[in-house]
Structure 1
Amino acid sequence: MLDLQKYRAKICLTAGGMLILENRVLLIKHHRLQRWLCPGGHIETNELPHIAAQREFWEETGVEVVAKNVGKMIDSKHSEYLPAPIFFNLHWMYRENYHARLKNQPVVKGSKGCEQHLGLTYLVRPLSGAKKIRDMKLKPQLHEVDDIGWFSLDQVKNMTDIWSDIYQEFVLGLKLINGDEN
């Protein structure tokens, strides 16, 4: 198993949303990375992660969403229980930095000085209640998003400009929305 914690990298918190309708996932093609991803971005100071995921999703796609809770909620008089992410991962912002660290070479820092992202991905649903792709009105944020689209599992599996993790996350996302948690 990969151990990215052993590097003293600057870590930034990010949050994103996975929207699945009609067994298709909505992905954006990130302008700078030139990769297909779930919409998301940096968590702002004092912002809750699920709120950041909802905000970033809307900013990048024009679609208002709500983070779904896939876990059990507890009724409490002392704590507020928040939606749980379906994924929580640590990754290099630039893959080249990982290889540079292995060779004790300098790394490239991102726009916020980030080297690694600690990313939380939430399963989201449209605030409008839309159940069909044809009912969705997409308005991509053109300075960050080169393209936007709905993709089936087979399409995601065969993409070349996507990280393999996205396919694996989509598989699990489909299982969660279809009630198969195994």
Structure 2
Amino acid sequence: MATPDFIKAVRATAGHQLLHLPGITAVVFDDEGRVLLVRRSDNGRWTLCGGIPEPGEQPGVAAVREVYEETAVECVAERVVLVAAEPQPVVYPNGDECQYMNITFRCRATGGEARVNDDESTEVGWFPLDTLPPLTEAEVFRIKQALTDEPTWFATMPAH
């Protein structure tokens, strides 16, 4: 995934040490109830759209921006469905370590044609919920939470 310039500036002095960063995920549905996924160019896995908010950028605005940047799909963020610290740090191929505090939004597509719109993905597609490609357990949970009318999910007990 492309590293934002402000993270590159921090890395210039922090090196590869663990950074705690905000992250957003967008679970985007179309009018047919399909979910929008991208195939990452770095590891070939299908995933939900997401990224890091820019300094001062509101998380919902970042979700909408990331979806458009990655897929050319226009959407609106409807609600927060999940707030969670990722349980394990991500270690990137260059040695950088990051642990994300993720805010997941349910979004509704409003326009645009789904296509690869940057170098972060190799494919983009709409998937019916009963024919999803392999996803992580966390991504499946985010989709399930986005489909419910439950309040925003967050952990109330420390992870063990």
TM-score by length of 1: 0.63
Q: Distance in 1 between matches of 2:92 and 2:39?
A: 21
Which structure's CA Rg is the greater one? 1
Do residues 16 (structure 1) and 11 (structure 2) align? no
Q: Secondary structure at the match of 1:46?
A: coil
RMSD, aligned CA:
2.5
Q: Secondary structure at the match of 2:140?
A: helix
Do residues 116 (structure 1) and 99 (structure 2) align? yes
Gaps of 5+ in 2: 1-16, 152-160
1:16·1:52 contact (CA, 8 Å) conserved in 2?
no
Task: Tell me which residue corresponds to 2:58.
Answer: 48
Q: Secondary structure at the match of 2:116?
A: coil
Q: What letter matches 1:89 in structure 2?
A: A
Q: Distance in 2 between matches of 1:57 and 1:164?
A: 21
Q: Distance in 2 between matches of 1:32 and 1:25?
A: 21
1:73-95 Cα shifts (integer Å, max 9, x gaps): xxxxxxxxxxxx2111222353x
Task: Tell me which residue corresponds to 1:141.
Answer: 117
More strand by share: 2
Task: Tell me which residue corresponds to 2:129.
Answer: 153
Q: How many residues align?
A: 133
Off by >6 Å, runs of 4+ in structure 1: none
Return the offset for 1:114. Answer: 4.3
Gaps of 5+ in 1: 1-7, 70-84, 95-107, 129-135
Task: Tell me which residue corresponds to 1:170.
Answer: 143
Q: What letter matches 1:35 in structure 2?
A: R
Do residues 35 (structure 1) and 45 (structure 2) align? yes
Residues 93 and 61 (structure 1 numbering): CA distance in 2 closer, same or farther, change over 3 Å?
farther
